[in-house]
Homo-oligomer: A and B are copies of this chain.
Amino acid sequence: MKQTDVMGKAPTTTERRLNARRPGRPVGGQLEVDREHVLDAAERVIARDGAGASIEAVALEAGVTKPIVYDRVGGRADLADALAERLADRMVDAANQALQSGGQTGADTGLTRQALTTFIEANLQVVDRHRDLFLYVTGGTTEQTALGRLKLAERSTTPMTRALVAWRRGFGQSAEVAEPWAFGIVGMLQMSAMWWLTQSDRSARDVADQLAELLWHGLPGGDRSA
């Protein structure tokens, strides 16, 4: 598998570069391997090999060597961070799309209970579709990645915080609760997703509806007495 003679054909730069096994600066400028390329490869590896994927496997899948990965995306914690942002964006997008196709505009207009259910269900389905990525991102032993988990949350919560601020202001109520509420809700969604994925056989819609019920009416439910 060692084709040392390079001059035979003139393959496209990509081909030759990715197979370059000899050290030294590559001919013809920089490798067209950027951050996104590596992140895509990482997602593929994680989807294939599970959440325990190693940096080396990512480099192999991306067709580059390890130091390239470190140059493009940074260390393992940074990789998890970047993937967390992607996943969070996908969740936000899915939720927005679901809300729009349902006739709800989500953030700007009044939030309804129905919209809340839709939002939660969309989130569950994204987690379901990217199961191992979710595990990879929410895992991580070092303190760095523990904070990275917060970053995923932050990315998810930023739009939610904005929506909550507007929502509360619309009722003339203090918006100070917006941030803890947003983090709390995201935590609820993450844990529920984990439970749903591994221990429950209910439908996503059922779980979403039940969580929406809690978030909308609160613990005492519709008719409270205490």
**Residues of A that sit less than 8 Å from B by CB:** 50-52, 110-112, 116, 135-136, 138-143, 145-147, 149-150, 153, 167-168, 171, 173, 176-177, 179-181, 183-192, 194-196, 198-200, 202, 207, 210-211, 213-221, 223, 225-226
Contact = CB atoms under 8 A, between A and B. Distances in A.
A143 B131 CA distance: 11
A132 B154 CA distance: 21
A215 to B, nearest CB: 6
A180 B192 contact: yes
20 contacts: A51-B141, A51-B143, A52-B141, A52-B143, A116-B219, A139-B141, A139-B146, A140-B140, A146-B194, A149-B194, A167-B219, A171-B220, A180-B192, A183-B194, A184-B191, A184-B192, A187-B192, A187-B194, A188-B191, A218-B218
Interface of A is mostly: helix
A136 B140 CA distance: 9
Nearest to A172: B223
Contacts of A219: 111, 116, 167, 181, 215-216
